[in-house]
Amino acid sequence: MSITAILPIVSTIIMFAFAAYVLQRYYLRRRLSYLFWGLGLAMFGIGSMSELLLTFGWSDLFFFTWYLFGAVLTAAWIGQGTVHLLAKKKLARISTVVLVVASIVVAIMLLRTMPDLNTAIFNPDQPVSEQYREIMPPISEGGFVRLTTPIFNVYGLITLVGGALWSSYLFWRKRVLPNRVVGNVLIAVGALIIASASTLTRLGYGQFLYAGELLAGILMFAGFLVAAAPRSEGSSDETAPAATSV
């Protein structure tokens, strides 16, 4: 089996396990931050799985899910979990409504673009991240959905990385829960890695995307586990600082 298939397999397993773990915490604690983190991570897993399935041959459905979840929505929805954790409730609610509406609009735009894809040039032996620029119509010919990708990714990068670093700073300044300092730094580094890999992909260097996804998934999952480690005796969810990103 080629490395093109192996990396998405491992990334998919890690991200679905990560998403299940976070969604279980939502079920137990009923905090919306866990729900949005879990949904975003599930989108990450769907995107990785779609990458894998496209190595077996072209599929409109798998390309649609790869681009929508893997290229556009994942970072923003994970970042929205951090917004619900750190921002005021009114701002979190408004931004969530905007994100939901924007996600629906992007999905519709992508559906309208699908009939114009140049699927004849698709090569299953080459990662889709290295081909999608040629497969999708240019912006001048109606491929406007491509303009939305940087907007969602920048929003996700700012909210996720910014929230993780801010949380680390708060715990470091108060000299409490050092595991959360380390955990949030790992999460921020993982988010920066996938953001860098996505940027390189848009610049035409898609060969780094699979490795970037895998490394980012490992670091973010590890960061969450470290940050969520049991507190020392005498502290509780109610009295400990509430700022932990993912």
Per-residue pLDDT tens digits for 88-136:
899 999 999 999 999 999 999 999 999 999 999 999 888 888 888 899 9
Q: Structure pTM?
A: 0.82
**How far from 207 is each of 4, 74, 177, 238, CA to CA, in Å?**
9, 20, 38, 45
Q: What is the pLDDT of residue 241?
A: 29
| Helical spans, DSSP H, in 114-234 | 132-135, 148-174, 178-202, 209-227
Which range among 3-17, 95-109, 200-214 shows the weakest confidence by mean pLDDT?
Answer: 200-214
Answer left, alpha or beta for residue 30, where phi above 0 means left and psi between -120 and 50 means alpha: left
Q: What is the pLDDT of residue 111?
A: 96
DSSP 236: -
* pLDDT at residue 149 is higher than 80: yes
Return the closest-CA partner of residue 40 out of 220, 185, 184, 210. 220
Domains within the chain, CATH numbers bracketed:
3-227 (1.20.1070)
Structure tokens at 218: 């490992």
Tell me, what amino acid is at 30? R
* pLDDT at residue 243 is higher than 70: no
* CA separation for the pair 240, 236 (Å, rounded): 6
Share of the chain above pLDDT 90, in %: 33
Return the closest-CA partner of residue 183 out of 238, 243, 234. 243
How many CA atoms lie within 13 Å of 4's alpha carbon, on the beta-carbon side? 17
**How far from 131 is each of 3, 165, 238, CA to CA, in Å?**
17, 34, 49
Interhelix angle 178-202/209-227, nearest 10 degrees: 160
Which range among 28-37, 66-75, 182-191 shows the weakest confidence by mean pLDDT?
Answer: 182-191
